[in-house]
Chain A
């Protein structure tokens, strides 16, 4: 794939072109309370391409917090089911963070695994993702430790690296190529490979060995670590709501009167007790230790076992959001140390 350049002025003109043609444009932008969210923009001036990490990830543009699956209506002639559309109008995300773009690509695996999620892929196909190389955000970031980094192009159709007065734009996918071709007037040819700019992000990150963690999780379901580490966890689920890769959902039927209603799917999380409570009242995950173990095991054992990679991009939002001071990299480092230390042969029975 090739590369292009675009000046800041032309990027502004490109956004204007897109908006004029009816394309929805989303970029990191400040909300009324001053915080940054991925938000709809109509002018490039609204975008803050280098800022703190947006409050939530890109996940919600493909798996919204709530969405209708179908609605029903009963009258004298019978029951009518109204399906929801599974194709979507064009959408461009400008200024995605590499950790957020990668997450969407990682989630494609499970969304297309045993059942192809039409709503997820409908939105995926309609969306072109242009990411911007990251300079790192703060001490909660650990993307490098999850096997990628602040300049990872994973999940991006276009990857923008800041240059003097503009961006160098790597074209990474056929969708990215089509986009650049459709807006050829706004892009210039790349004069050559950019000087490898040293990332300002911490390329070292915490010392975590993902294969070690995966192997340890296989053998330590009953390790005392779980109870100890989850003491401060409130089971509030804030981590999952800001996580770019947590994707569990609940399906509910909401009646509107007696004869009509809507089936919806809503975000859900394994961190709350009701996620697993049975109709009998029995809960197979009876406490927060079991629930936290589930979240960690899903991300660092189950997903890599099935799909070959961890379900985490190291964005650090879980640590920033946690009201109890839980820190995922700290836990992964603790496991890495436990796996290396004495006592391992006992299978973790302390």
Chain B
């Protein structure tokens, strides 16, 4: 913690950056912090409650943040994939930010809980994580942690869904999506949902109905899952933000698996790695194109 605070203080004091985006103690657990004063760098914390992906705050769509000036952002390995995604998709230039990587041993699904990290409380994405040290980082801080607990219930759940009949699967998603009120929290917290104008907000013509009825909800969640295929960094923010607790991670994870199977690509933290959405290869499988 001292190492992180000291680094943040130095970066602010010598003018390298104008703001350090990290985590602090809030009224109900840890929460995102925006440190502009080097003397306040001692607010910063990092522990297993730091679930939030702070790369969401790097989006160019947030003028009150971009006005602060050049940021340093504290990222876990999973979050670094979002930073890489933003660079890969030309939303950020690498030299416009300083990346402070933290070594991670898994985070809690709910950052406001006071429970210790365990197989029951850990965020689902952490089990078997291969990205516990961000390669993208300019500075890497913290000690190495043991592997996160847990077995990754989400992959098992996807297996159960795959084993269902189409009718059963349809029933499952109809029941889950029926709770959606189209608040769009999933979109707004997503670091990879950076479109200036989302297809779901277009009205002439309206491709996706804004009403939270069965038709509108299905159109929205299918469109979002497709737009995230091969782009989703699996940070879990959409699912954490959803006030209706819809298991959006299942959709995104399933799409990521399809992309990996078909294109041999997994969203990582190398901004130079070409993603299927942005490149054309002559040997891409094309048998599904009529």
Contacts and interface: CB of A to CB of B under 8 A. Distances in A.
Interface of A: 32-33, 35, 55-56, 65-66, 139-140, 227, 230-232, 234-238, 240-242, 250, 252, 254, 264, 266-267, 269, 272, 274, 286-289, 319-321, 323-325, 327, 329-330
B185 A55 contact: no
B31 A232 contact: yes
Interface string B166-189: 000000000100000111110111
A266 B210 contact: yes
B254 to A, nearest CB: 19
Interface of B: 26-34, 52, 56-57, 62-65, 67-68, 111-112, 175, 181-185, 187-189, 201, 206, 209-213, 216, 237, 240-245
Given A231-B57, A324-B189, 19 more contacts: A66-B211, A139-B27, A231-B65, A232-B31, A235-B188, A236-B183, A236-B184, A236-B188, A238-B185, A238-B243, A264-B211, A267-B182, A272-B184, A288-B64, A320-B28, A321-B243, A323-B189, A323-B241, A324-B31
26 contacts: A32-B175, A33-B245, A66-B212, A231-B34, A231-B57, A231-B64, A231-B65, A232-B32, A234-B189, A235-B188, A236-B183, A237-B184, A238-B183, A241-B183, A242-B243, A252-B210, A266-B211, A267-B181, A267-B183, A288-B62, A323-B52, A323-B185, A323-B240, A325-B26, A325-B28, A330-B26
Nearest to B197: A274
Contacts of A319: 27-28
A140 B28 contact: yes
Nearest to B211: A66
Contact of B30 (A55, A240, A325, A330): A325
Contacts of A324: 31-32, 52, 189
Contacts of A286: 63
A11 B280 CA distance: 67
Contacts of B68: 231
Contacts of A55: 243-245
Given A56-B243, A319-B28, A325-B32, A66 B213 contact: yes
Contacts of A327: 26-28
Contacts, number: 115
A139 B26 CA distance: 12
Contacts of A231: 32, 34, 57, 64-65, 68
A286 B243 CA distance: 25
Contact of B185 (A236, A288, A289): A236
B28 A254 contact: no
Contacts of A330: 26-27
B108 to A, nearest CB: 14
A232 B27 contact: no
B23 to A, nearest CB: 9
B188 A272 contact: yes
Contacts of A236: 183-185, 187-189, 241
Contacts of A238: 183, 185, 241-243
A272 B188 CA distance: 9
Contacts of A264: 211
Contacts of B213: 66
A287 B263 CA distance: 39
B44 to A, nearest CB: 14
A329 B26 CA distance: 12
Contacts of B188: 234-237, 272
Contact of B212 (A232, A254, A267): A267
A234 B56 contact: yes
A134 to B, nearest CB: 19
A236 B237 CA distance: 12
A240 B243 CA distance: 10
B237 A323 contact: yes
B189 A65 contact: no
Contacts of A35: 245
Contact of A266 (B29, B182, B240, B244): B182
A258 to B, nearest CB: 13
Nearest to A327: B27
Contacts of B33: 232
Counting chain A CB atoms within 10 Å of each CB, the highest count among B64, B206, B212, B213 belongs to B64
A231 to B, nearest CB: 5
A226 to B, nearest CB: 9
A240 B31 contact: no
Contacts of B181: 65, 241, 267
A288 B216 CA distance: 27
Contact of B183 (A140, A232, A269, A320): A269
A330 B29 CA distance: 13
